[in-house]
C-alpha cells in the first residue's frame, strides 16, 4: 500500500519548525491545504501560507521550514473527522504528535467520532489499523452508512394488445386491405387480462450520523377495471368474466360483450368479427362485413354489406343492398325496409317494406306498418306471411312461398329411427352389464370378451345418453314447429296486385287481377281466397 507523505511540528530553541516527510512509492504528497487545516486546528495562525506553499512545491525537505518563533506546548496526536456524501461515510484524517505529545487511544478516536456526530457504522478495524500503523495525512474510512435497499415501481403487464391504432394490412400485390384491421381485441371467459407486480418501497438506510437514508421514491400502481372483470384474491390479477372484447382506456381495463361502433363501419373500422353483440351508431358501408355471435343492431342504413348474427338483427333504418347485401340471423330480423338483398332468418322477420329481395325464413314474416309492402323478389317461409300490400301496379314478379312441411316430417321420422337405434344399443350395454354383475355375484368366471365390452361400454354409454337427449330435443323442436305452422297462410290487409304468385305447400295460385283484403289458405290441391 502506498504511504502518503506527512508532516510534524518541531519546537526547537524558540523556533516552530515544519518537518515534512515525503511519500513513499505512489503515495500522495502533503498539500498546503492539509498544513493549513492542521495549524488552524491547533490555533497556530501566525505563519506565512505563501511560504509554506513554496516550500512544499520545491520538494526539498532536508531542512525544516521555519513557521515562527516562540514556545508551543507539545500537541498530542490529532484526529479530524469529516462526514461526506450526505452521511454515507465518515473519514478520519490523523496528524502526528509533537515531541512529548500524547498519542491517541481507541477511546480517544471513538470520542472524536461522537463529537463529530458519528453514531452509526463505526469501523473498528479501521481504528485498529491506524493504532497499529499510525499512517498520517491519509483518509481512513472510519464509518460507513447502512445503505438503503431500493425498491422498484409497481408494474402492470397486460395480456392483450393495448395499442388501439388500427392499421390496414398491405397485401402481397401492393394493395391495401382495410377489412382486417385487428382493432377488436377478443377475449374469452376466464382469460387473464392483466397482472400487477406490487410496488416495493424498499427499506431505509442509516447514515453515519444516525439519520435515516430514504430509499428512492417509487411509483405505486393499482389494477383499474370495469364490469365483467374478476379480481384475484391477492388483488394482483384480473380475469374476464365474459367472452367479449377488451380495451384499455386511461389505464382502466374494460371488457364488454357489446361492441359499440361510434360511427360507420367502413375503412376506419374494417370488418367486425365479434363473440358478443355489435351495435353500430352509423351506417354499414358497401363491401364490409359484421359477424356476431350475439345480436347486431344498426342505427343507420346498411348498404351492400354482409351481416351474420348468432342472435337477432335489428336495422333501425333498413338495408339498401344493391344486389350485394346479405343478412343471416339465427334469431329474428327486424328492419325498416329491405331492398335488393338476400335474407336468411331462422326466427320471425318483421319489416315495413321488402322490395326485390330473396328471403328465406323459418318462422312468420310480418310486413306491416305505414307501407307494409312486399314487391318483387321471392319470400320463402314455413310460417305465415302477413302484409298490407303484395305486388305493385307495375306488375313486378313477386313470389310468395309457404314451404311444405314434408321434408321436416321426413326428418322427424328419420330422427325417430336414429333414436330407437341408439336406445337399442344402450339397452344392449345395460343387458350385458347386468349379466356380468350377476356372474360376479355368483362368483362365476366372466369371459374376457364380456369384460372388454364392459370396459369399452363404460366410455361409450355417456356419449350414447348425450346423443339421445340432443336428438330427442331437436325432434321435439321440429315437431313443435310443424304443429305451429300447420295452418300457415298468406294474409293481405290491403291490395294484392296482378303478377303475384302464391305457393302454399305445393299448391299454386297466380294473381292476375287485383284483389284486396284477402287471406289465402291451402284447400286440397288449391289455394283459396277468404275475405277478411
pLDDT tens, position by position, 511-526: 988 999 999 998 888 8
Residue 178: pLDDT over 50: no
Higher pLDDT: 371 or 18? It is 18
pLDDT in tens, 11-39: 888 899 999 999 887 888 999 999 999 99
Across 497-514, average pLDDT: 90
Q: How far apart are CA 214 and CA 135, in angstroms?
A: 35
The order of strands in the sheet holding 89-95 is 78-84, 89-95, 139-144
Minimum mean pLDDT range among 57-66, 171-180, 240-249? 171-180
> pLDDT band at 176, cuts 50/70/90?
very low
Q: How far apart are CA 92 and CA 138, in angstroms?
A: 8
Q: What is the DSSP letter of 12?
A: E
Contact in structure between 156 and 223 (CB atoms under 8 Å): yes
Contact in structure between 240 and 258 (CB atoms under 8 Å): no
pLDDT at 282: 95
- pTM for the model stands at 0.56
pLDDT at 130: 94
Across 470-486, average pLDDT: 83
pLDDT at 2: 60
CB atoms within 10 A of CB 300: 18
The percentage of the chain sitting over the pLDDT mark of 70, rounded to a whole number, equals: 95
Cβ-based burial of 496 (10 A; exposed 0-12, middle 13-18, buried ≥19): buried
Instruction: Provide CB contacts within 8 A for 126, sequence distance 6+.
Output: 92, 140, 141, 142
pLDDT at 322: 94
Contact in structure between 430 and 453 (CB atoms under 8 Å): no
Q: How far apart are CA 152 and CA 217, in angstroms?
A: 9
Minimum mean pLDDT range among 79-83, 110-114, 176-180, 405-409? 176-180
Q: How far apart are CA 137 and CA 94, in angstroms?
A: 6
Q: Which residue pairs from 126-134 have beta carbons closer than 8 angstroms and sit at least 24 positions apart in sequence? A: 126/92, 130/92, 130/94, 130/104, 131/104, 131/105, 131/106, 134/77, 134/94, 134/96, 134/103
Q: State the DSSP H helix or E strand holding residue 435, giving kind and residue range, or none if neither.
A: helix 406-441
Q: How far apart are CA 333 and CA 328, in angstroms?
A: 9
pLDDT at 113: 95
Nearest to 294 by CA among 265, 318, 330: 330
Instruction: Provide CB contacts within 8 A for 430, sequence distance 6+.
Output: none
Q: How far apart are CA 399 and CA 397, in angstroms?
A: 7
Residue 379: pLDDT over 50: yes
> pLDDT band at 175, cuts 50/70/90?
very low
Contact in structure between 255 and 273 (CB atoms under 8 Å): no
Beta bridge partners of 68: 16
Contact in structure between 255 and 246 (CB atoms under 8 Å): yes
pLDDT in tens, 459-475: 778 888 888 888 888 88
Residue that is written with C-alpha cell 407486480 in the block = 197
Across 291-314, average pLDDT: 92
Q: What is the mean pLDDT of the chain?
A: 88
Q: How far apart are CA 55 and CA 473, in angstroms?
A: 113
Q: How far apart are CA 226 and CA 294, in angstroms?
A: 21
pLDDT at 431: 80
> pLDDT band at 255, cuts 50/70/90?
confident
Give the cell for residue 11.
519546537
pLDDT at 115: 94
Across 72-80, average pLDDT: 91
Cβ-based burial of 144 (10 A; exposed 0-12, middle 13-18, buried ≥19): middle
Q: How far apart are CA 159 and CA 155, in angstroms?
A: 13
Amino acid at each position: 500500500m502506498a504511504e502518503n507523505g506527512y508532516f510534524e511540528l518541531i519546537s526547537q530553541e524558540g523556533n516552530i519548525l515544519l518537518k515534512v516527510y515525503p511519500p513513499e512509492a505512489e503515495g500522495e504528497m502533503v498539500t498546503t491545504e492539509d498544513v493549513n487545516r492542521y495549524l488552524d486546528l491547533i490555533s497556530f495562525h501566525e505563519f506565512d501560507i505563501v511560504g509554506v506553499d513554496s516550500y512544499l512545491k520545491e520538494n526539498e525537505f532536508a531542512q525544516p521550514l521555519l513557521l515562527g518563533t516562540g514556545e508551543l506546548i507539545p500537541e498530542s496526536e490529532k484526529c479530524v473527522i469529516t462526514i461526506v456524501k450526505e452521511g454515507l461515510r465518515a473519514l478520519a484524517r490523523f496528524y502526528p504528535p509533537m515531541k512529548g505529545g500524547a498519542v491517541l487511544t481507541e477511546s480517544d478516536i471513538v470520542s472524536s467520532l461522537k463529537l463529530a456526530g458519528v453514531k452509526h457504522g463505526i469501523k473498528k478495524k479501521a481504528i485498529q489499523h491506524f493504532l497499529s500503523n499510525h499512517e498520517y495525512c491519509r483518509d481512513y474510512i472510519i464509518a460507513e452508512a447502512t445503505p438503503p435497499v431500493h425498491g422498484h415501481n409497481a408494474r402492470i403487464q397486460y395480456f392483450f394488445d393495448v395499442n388501439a391504432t388500427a392499421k390496414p394490412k398491405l397485401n402481397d400485390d401492393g394493395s391495401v386491405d382495410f377489412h382486417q384491421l385487428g382493432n377488436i381485441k377478443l377475449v374469452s371467459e376466464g382469460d387473464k387480462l392483466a397482472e400487477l407486480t406490487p410496488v416495493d418501497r424498499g427499506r431505509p438506510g442509516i447514515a453515519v450520523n444516525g439519520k435515516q437514508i430514504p430509499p428512492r421514491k417509487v411509483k405505486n400502481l393499482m389494477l383499474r377495471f370495469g364490469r365483467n372483470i374478476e379480481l384475484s384474491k391477492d388483488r394482483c390479477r384480473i380475469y374476464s368474466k365474459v367472452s367479449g372484447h377488451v380495451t384499455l382506456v386511461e389505464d382502466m381495463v374494460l371488457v364488454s360483450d357489446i361492441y359499440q361502433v361510434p360511427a360507420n363501419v367502413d375503412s376506419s373500422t374494417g370488418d367486425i368479427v365479434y363473440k358478443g353483440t355489435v351495435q353500430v351508431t352509423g351506417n354499414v358501408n358497401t363491401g364490409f362485413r359484421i359477424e356476431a355471435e350475439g345480436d347486431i343492431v344498426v342505427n343507420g342504413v346498411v348498404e351492400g354489406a354482409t351481416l351474420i348474427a348468432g342472435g337477432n338483427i335489428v336495422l333501425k333504418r333498413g338495408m339498401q343492398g344493391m344486389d350485394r347485401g346479405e343478412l343471416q340471423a339465427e334469431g329474428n330480423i327486424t328492419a325498416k325496409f329491405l331492398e335488393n338483398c338476400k335474407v336468411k332468418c331462422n326466427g320471425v322477420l318483421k319489416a315495413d317494406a321488402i322490395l326485390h329481395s330473396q328471403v328465406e325464413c323459418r318462422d312468420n314474416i310480418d310486413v306491416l306498418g305505414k307501407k307494409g309492402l312486399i314487391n318483387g323478389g321471392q319470400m320463402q317461409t314455413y310460417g305465415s306471411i302477413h302484409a298490407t300490400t303484395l305486388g305493385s301496379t307495375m306488375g313486378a314478379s313477386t313470389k310468395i312461398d309457404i314451404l311444405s312441411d314434408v321434408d321436416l316430417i321426413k326428418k322427424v321420422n328419420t330422427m325417430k329411427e336414429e333414436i330407437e337405434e341408439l336406445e337399442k344399443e344402450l339397452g344392449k350395454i345395460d343387458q350385458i352389464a347386468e349379466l356380468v354383475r350377476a356372474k360376479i355375484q355368483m362368483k362365476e368366471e366372466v369371459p374376457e370378451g364380456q369384460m372388454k365390452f364392459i370396459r369399452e361400454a363404460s366410455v361409450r354409454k355417456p356419449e350414447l345418453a348425450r346423443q339421445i337427449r340432443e336428438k330427442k330435443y331437436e325432434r321435439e323442436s321440429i315437431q313443435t314447429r310443424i304443429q305451429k305452422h300447420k295452418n300457415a297462410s298468406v294474409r293481405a290487409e290491403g291490395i294484392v296486385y296482378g303478377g303475384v304468385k302464391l305457393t302454399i305447400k305445393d299448391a299454386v295460385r297466380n294473381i292476375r287481377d287485383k284483389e284486396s283484403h284477402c287471406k289465402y289458405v291451402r284447400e286440397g290441391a288449391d289455394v283459396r281466397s277468404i275475405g277478411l
